[in-house]
Chain A
């Protein structure tokens, strides 16, 4: 029998692959009814795809893998086209050479760890299959599990088997859909180390979906933020998370206080601005951004970045001192969440000791101290 010569696109060996995606896909009302509409490129190395649930992260991965079809657009890896309806190309899933670790892993329950891993190697000879399987079992430190079935091993071990199964086929790109969500921090960081070590040798794009802020910082060389089917921010984790430009990212990034604000004046010489919080007399000094006086913005302040004083503080470098009155004090684990009415209500975090030493209680008059650079500005 001769090999079929009808391949439209011959995939190059993995290595210097750039994933390029430009797609549009409307989901039916039943599925939540939003449109996936995005365009991005991903280089080799880790890229974190971050966003709230329902943002379209899994749908995007399914489109790349060929499990879902975009309405239009193109998907290419390196020089090879996976999807381009104008050129009548829609490579079937099994020929896309994509490693996909599903949410929930989807290990084959009737096969041992070793057979799960060898599943994608059926085209190769028996000895080569054994060699590849053995090597990857070794590098993910699961050789001792080879005869066990998925039901008989722990969550972290299953995770390693799923990764090994996806990687052993030498894919052009790796898609990971919240692969570590269910694991404890220690197991998680060990697996991430192994994955990093593997990627150091193979250098393929790894698209890692998560809605965990910690994983973004632990993994990402680069972050794409997906909201309602659109990419709303991208950059290094630090850039995206510390200067969130939309409220969804702000809440995900841990901003307890988000307010509408209007620019009162810009102080170009000092690199700051004055903004008034809408619906109050509170004025904040914030970092300077390009915005006309009168334009509206949002300000995010983390509860942990606010200081509280029982007398009006003096001689501080912090520029924002706001008088207010304690509305409530609530203990959560080892911190106290104080809600203070300053015309607007702000939440801040205190230690138990601070609460007791300052004899804080509801109704008490206090001053809040916020540094200029603790005020994070976002698009209004």
Chain B
């Protein structure tokens, strides 16, 4: 089993999940509460990675990161190398790829919070930010756990985007799913099976966490 690939994949998935909390919360808040009439356009863009083939997504990310795009040139001017075929490039691709899996559960959880509670919070002197931190966020914990676990598990198993953006550089961009593909290509079914089983177990555990938390709203609260 290729432990290097395994830990690289875990590191990638965790990093993406953490960044998606930071980036996803404001986007989800805006999607849940904005009354902008063109909001559906933004919602559609966020949801695109769900329906798009990963190769299509990977292709455009590769183009965007490459030295012909403004972003790629800017990055090259600062760091001296391109984003494509690097771990950072992989993170950026994965962020886009997994964005809806974080934002959609967050936004759903926010919109399920009774608006009367937010009104009550405001009459008690709380600002919008305070209301968000003290009322909306605590009542959205199951949705937050779902979003984090899903984006983690989704990043864990990605293949197409990684192949397009990252290629197959051991220790840099070689993830578990690429490793499995390589082993199968080499007819090493035993090693492929080992790694596949590991990926299956971790993904299953993540989904168990999601459904376990959502089984009952307060199941994970320490005080119940």
Q: Hey, which bits of chain A sit against chain B, CB under 8 A? A: 65-67, 92-100, 102, 104, 106-110, 119-120, 122-123, 149, 165-166, 169
**Given the contacts A106-B114, A109-B139, A67 and B119 also touching, CB distance less than 8 Å:** yes
Measured CA separation A174–B181 after assembly (Å): 68
Q: Mark B161-183, 1 if CB is under 8 A from A, else 0.
A: 00000000000000000000000
Report the bound CA distance from A169 to B122 in whole Å: 12
Q: Are B139 and A94 in contact (CB under 8 A)?
A: no
- Shortest Cβ gap from A275 to chain B (Å): 48
Assembly CA distance A97 to B122 (angstroms): 10
Whether A99 touches B123, Cβ cut-off 8 Å, given contacts A106-B114, A108-B117, A110-B138, is yes
Which residues of A are found within 8 Å of B223, using beta-carbon distances?
A: 149
Q: Is the CB of B138 within 8 A of A93?
A: no
Residue in B117, B125, B134, B138 whose CB lies within 8 Å of A94: B125
Give the number of chain B interface residues (Cβ < 8 Å): 18
Which B residues are CB-close (under 8 A) to A166?
Answer: 123-124
The reply to whether A94 and B120 form a contact with Cβ atoms under 8 Å apart is no
A120: chain B residues at CB < 8 Å are 124-126
Q: How far is the CA of A169 from the CA of B124 in the complex (A)?
A: 7
- Are A93 and B120 CB-contacts (below 8 A) given A106-B114, A108-B135? no
Residues A104 and B116 in contact, CB atoms below 8 Å apart: yes
Ordered by A's residue number, 18 sampled pairs between the chains whose C-beta atoms are within 8 Å are A93-B123, A94-B122, A94-B123, A94-B125, A94-B126, A94-B127, A95-B125, A108-B117, A108-B121, A108-B135, A110-B139, A119-B124, A120-B124, A122-B126, A122-B130, A123-B125, A166-B124, A169-B125
Q: Which of B110-157 contact A (CB under 8 A)?
A: 114, 116-117, 119-127, 130, 134-135, 138-139
Q: Roughly how many angstroms separate A300 CA and B116 CA in the complex, as a whole number?
A: 40
In the bound assembly, the distance between CA atoms of A108 and B134 in angstroms comes to 10
Are A98 and B138 within 8 A (Cβ)? Answer: no
List 14 additional A-B contacts (Cβ < 8 Å) besides A102-B120, A108-B121: A93-B123, A94-B124, A94-B127, A100-B119, A100-B120, A102-B116, A108-B120, A109-B139, A110-B138, A119-B121, A120-B124, A122-B125, A123-B125, A169-B125
Known: A109-B139, A110-B138, A110-B139. A100 touches B123 (CB 8 A): yes
Q: CA–CA, A99 to B116, complex, Å? A: 14
Residue of B nearest to A119 (CB): B124
Binary interface encoding of chain B residues 89-117 relative to chain A, with 1 for a CB under 8 A from any of its CBs, else 0: 00000000000000000000000001011
A65 and B116 form a contact (CB under 8 A):
no
**How far, in whole Å, are A94 and B132 apart by their CA atoms in the complex?**
14
Q: Are A106 and B124 in contact (CB under 8 A)?
A: no
Q: Do A106 and B139 contact each other (CB < 8 Å), given the known contacts A94-B127, A169-B125? A: no
* Majority SS at the chain B contact face: helix
Q: A119 to B135, alpha carbons, bound, how many Å?
A: 10
Query: Chain B, 181-224, contact with A by CB distance < 8 Å: what is the 0/1 string?
Result: 00000000000000000000000000000000000000000010
Bound-complex Cα distance A149 to B221 (A):
13
Give the distance in Å from the alpha carbon of A301 to the alpha carbon of B223 in the complex: 58
A66, A92, A99, A110, most chain B CB atoms within 10 A: A110
Which chain B residues border A107 with CB–CB below 8 Å? 120
Note all chain B residues with C-beta closer than 8 A to A65.
119, 123
Q: In the complex, what distance in Å separates the CA atom of A172 from the CA atom of B134?
A: 24
Which residues of B have CB within 8 Å of A108? 117, 120-121, 135
Q: Quick check: A106 and B122 within 8 Å, CB to CB? A: no
Residues of A within 8 A of B124 (CB): 94, 119-120, 165-166, 169
Residues of chain B contacted by A67 (CB below 8 angstroms):
119, 122-123
B119's partner among A93, A97, A109, A122 (CB-CB below 8 A) is: A93
Q: Determine if B117 and A98 form an interchain contact, defined as CB atoms under 8 angstroms apart.
A: no
| Closest Cβ–Cβ distance, residue B212 to chain A (whole Å) | 19
Bound-state CA distance A264–B122 (Å) is 58
**B116, B117, B120, B122: which has the most chain A beta carbons within 10 Å?**
B120
Q: Shortest Cβ distance from B214 into chain A, in angstroms?
A: 16
B142 to chain A, nearest CB (A): 12
Taking CB as reference atom, which chain A residue is nearest B122?
A93
Residues of chain A contacted by B134 (CB below 8 angstroms): 119
CB contacts (< 8 Å) of A149 on chain B: these are 223
The answer to whether A106 touches B125 (Cβ under 8 A) is no
**Complexed CA–CA distance, A97 and B121 (Å):** 12
Complex: A120 Cα to B123 Cα, angstroms: 8
- Residues in A whose Cβ lies below 8 Å from that of B114: 106
Instruction: Return the contact of A106 from the options B116, B130, B138 (Cβ within 8 A).
Output: B116
Give the chain B neighbours of A165 by CB distance below 8 A: 124
- Complex Cα distance, B138 from A120, in Å, reads 17
Docked complex Cα distance between A96 and B123 (Å): 8
Closest CB in chain B relative to A14 CB, distance in Å: 14
CA distance A100 to B122 in the complex (A): 10
Chain B residues positioned under 8 Å from A106 (CB to CB): 114, 116-117, 119-120
B138 surroundings in chain A (CB, below 8 A): 110
Closest residue of chain A to B224 (Cβ to Cβ) is A149
Shortest distance between the CB of B37 and any CB in chain A (Å): 16
Q: Are B119 and A102 in contact (CB under 8 A)?
A: yes
